[in-house]
Amino acid sequence: MSREDLKQMAQRIQDDKKKYAYTIFACNASGCIPSGSEAVFEALKNCVKDRKLEDQVRVVSCGCMGICAQGPIVRVDPDQSIYQKVTVENAHRIIDEHIIGKTPVKDMLLFSHEKEPLINSFEETFFKKQKRVVLRNCGRIDPQSIDDYIAEGGYQALEKVLKRMGPEEVIAEVKHSRLRGRGGAGYPTGLKWEVVYKYVSDKKFVVCNADEGDPGAFMDRSVIEGDPHRVLEGMIIAAYAVGAQKGYVYIRGEYATAIKPLETAIKQAKKNGFLGETIMGTTFKFDIEIRIGAGAFVCGEQTALIASIEGRRGTPRPRPPYPAEKGLWGYPTLINNVETFANISAIIVHGGEWFCETGTTKSTGTKVFSLAGKVKNTGLIEVPMGISLREIVYDIGGGILDDREFKAAQTGGPSGGCISKEYLDRPVDYESLVELGSIMGSGGLIVMDDTSDMVDVARFFMEFCMDESCGKCVPCRVGTKQMFDLLNKIYIGRGTMADLKVLEELAIFVKEASLCGLGMSAPNPLLSSLRFFKEDFLQHIQRNEKVVKPLI
């Protein structure tokens, strides 16, 4: 398949779609399903059938549009009208009033892009400050259709790489973009690729880490649900660059709604010659298999993930050797996060230079966050790196629920920390967050208001780490348990100032002595709470009333 073929194919699919006067996108991602979106999708489809509009209206079940709190969301294109909280009962009004009657259903409208009545300022706030690179197609295409992806320019990056670039050029371009790993640690992606490329081996592997274990994070899931081919394309390009023949997507067992579209996408890619032997008519071959995890947070750690793919207990091992040298079955293995792979095709098509235009000098590009907790507009957002926390919470998030006071924002899940009010104007990038004792993490961002008790939050994360510790190294296994007990003691009102001191000492010890990232970062939420919210701890220690011990 040549470049022209691909472009013609995209054109043809686009022309095909033009016969539809309207396209109705019904969100069917994990955020909307619990609100009953599947039934809404069926209702819309049946209604179109009933009114005999099948030739003019296309109803598509799509990925996340971001505004999860208002779900189920339905968008009508080309008008770009977004309807909120659509139900089976009122779904027909979209067809009858908007499509047949040509007047948007005002009382259901979240906002409309049309000039006349802008229902509220949602567009101004929620979407204006966002920049969509990874989520470009999310909620705008049918994730189950490879044609939709191709029509949006999909697989053109792969064609460019296979036909006109050598592996070194691909790596140079990725290095030039200064893309950093989106899984949390922020290791430069180009460098990682280069290391794997340089090892000489008859077998190499590419692994996509979709074991999104941080509680409060659902970005990777949404990317896979909404645009699975983008992730696959990134993986295939990576395989070409490093010289791998086999790839795995390691995905959480909890993500049943993401596994299915991924399976479909792999099948379609194989059928269309983007995966398998002789990819796009070249001699390059590459195949991808899905491995389903079984609920172990530690498996997000590279070496534990490798053990799990090999069918063993997911316990990490000391590094070096790093997976880039000795990974799956001892062969060089490239492991990147879902979002990292999802950035690749845009970098190849538009160039590394273009990618650097967004973000800060050290943290380029955009970052997808799942915004949750006590904020008005919870959902999935993608923002340029370097945006301030204030803009995320107040402009995009619409402020705190019930207009209460902002207390803290938690990033990086159990490995991250809480950022207090004083730092709301700091830019959100890798370095600033580390400075504040947190980490970028995979992108969970949980907002807490003045009713949140930071001792409880620290206790919550410590319980999580204690439970998820694999038990291999002592500092993590025993340390997290001791810290949890101390936190519990303080929480129920029996703590002393001496406990606080021991807690701090222990935290530093566990951080320095643990074997893998889980243990090394487990004390982070505690340390950052101690740093910014010592008051909360003192209050617990100084008050006399005892609190009932919580169940979890």
Partner 1 sequence: MTKKDNQKDEAMQQLMKDPRFKLLTAVIKKNQNQSDTLIQILHQAQNLFGYLPMPVIKYIAEALSLPPSQVYGVVTFYNFFSLKQKGEHTCLVCTGTACYVKGAEKILAAIHEKYGIKPDETTQDNKFGLQIARCLGACGLAPVAVVDNEVVSKVRVEDFMPILEKKIGGKP
Q: Does 533 bind partner 1 (CB under 8 A)?
A: no
Cβ atoms of 435 and 390 within 8 Å: the answer is no
One residue of 95, 161, 174, 309 binding partner 1 per CB under 8 A: 309
CA distances from 255 to 198, 224, 225, 291 (A): 35, 10, 10, 12
CA distance 13 to 154: 12
Q: Does 212 bind partner 1 (CB under 8 A)?
A: yes
Pick between residue 184 and residue 314 the one whose CB is nearest to partner 1.
314
Pick between residue 179 and residue 223 the one whose CB is nearest to partner 1.
223
CA distance 160 to 155: 9
Contacts of 202 (CB under 8 A, 6+ apart): none
Site string for partner 1, 404-433 (x = CB under 8 A): ------x--x--------------------
Stretch that binds partner 1, among 5-13, 389-397, 464-472, 494-502 (CB under 8 A): 464-472
Query: What is the 3-state composition of the chain as percent helix, strand, coil, each rounded to the nearest 5?
Result: 45, 15, 35
Q: Does 470 bind partner 1 (CB under 8 A)?
A: yes
Residues of span 244-273 touching partner 1 by CB under 8 A: 253-255
Query: Interior CA angle at 103 toward 55 and 113, to 5°?
Result: 95
One residue of 12, 312, 494, 543 binding partner 1 per CB under 8 A: 312
Cβ atoms of 40 and 26 within 8 Å: the answer is yes
Cβ atoms of 366 and 119 within 8 Å: the answer is no
Provide the 3-class DSSP secondary structure of residue 243.
coil
Residue ranges with strand state E in 63-204: 74-77, 81-83, 109-112
Cβ atoms of 384 and 197 within 8 Å: the answer is no
Query: Interior CA angle at 526 toward 523 and 529, to 5°?
Result: 145
Stretch that binds partner 1, among 130-138, 443-451, 516-524, 534-542 (CB under 8 A): 443-451
Stretch that binds partner 1, among 162-170, 260-268, 271-279, 457-465 (CB under 8 A): 457-465
One residue of 178, 221, 367, 376 binding partner 1 per CB under 8 A: 221
Pick between residue 475 and residue 525 the one whose CB is nearest to partner 1.
525
Q: Does 215 bind partner 1 (CB under 8 A)?
A: yes
Q: Does 550 bind partner 1 (CB under 8 A)?
A: yes
Q: Does 522 bind partner 1 (CB under 8 A)?
A: no
In this structure, the dihedral spanned by the alpha carbons of residues 485, 487, 488 and 493, taken in order and rounded to 10 degrees, is 130
Total residues interacting with partner 1, rule: CB under 8 A: 57
CA distance 458 to 489: 13
N-terminal to C-terminal alpha carbon distance within the chain: 56
Site string for partner 1, 266-305 (x = CB under 8 A): -------------------------xxxxxxx--------
Stretch that binds partner 1, among 54-62, 67-75, 261-269, 317-325 (CB under 8 A): 67-75
Pick between residue 86 and residue 158 the one whose CB is nearest to partner 1.
86
Pick between residue 155 and residue 248 the one whose CB is nearest to partner 1.
248
Stretch that binds partner 1, among 112-120, 154-162, 191-199, 461-469 (CB under 8 A): 461-469
CA distance 112 to 97: 15
Q: Does 372 bind partner 1 (CB under 8 A)?
A: yes
Pick between residue 184 and residue 386 the one whose CB is nearest to partner 1.
184
Residue 120, exposed/middle/buried by CB under 10 A (0-12, 13-18, 19+)?
A: exposed
Summarize as ranges the residues that interact with partner 1 (CB under 8 A): 30-31, 33-35, 68-69, 71, 212-218, 221, 253-255, 291-297, 308-315, 370-374, 378-380, 410, 413, 444, 446, 448, 452, 457, 460-461, 464, 468, 470, 550-552
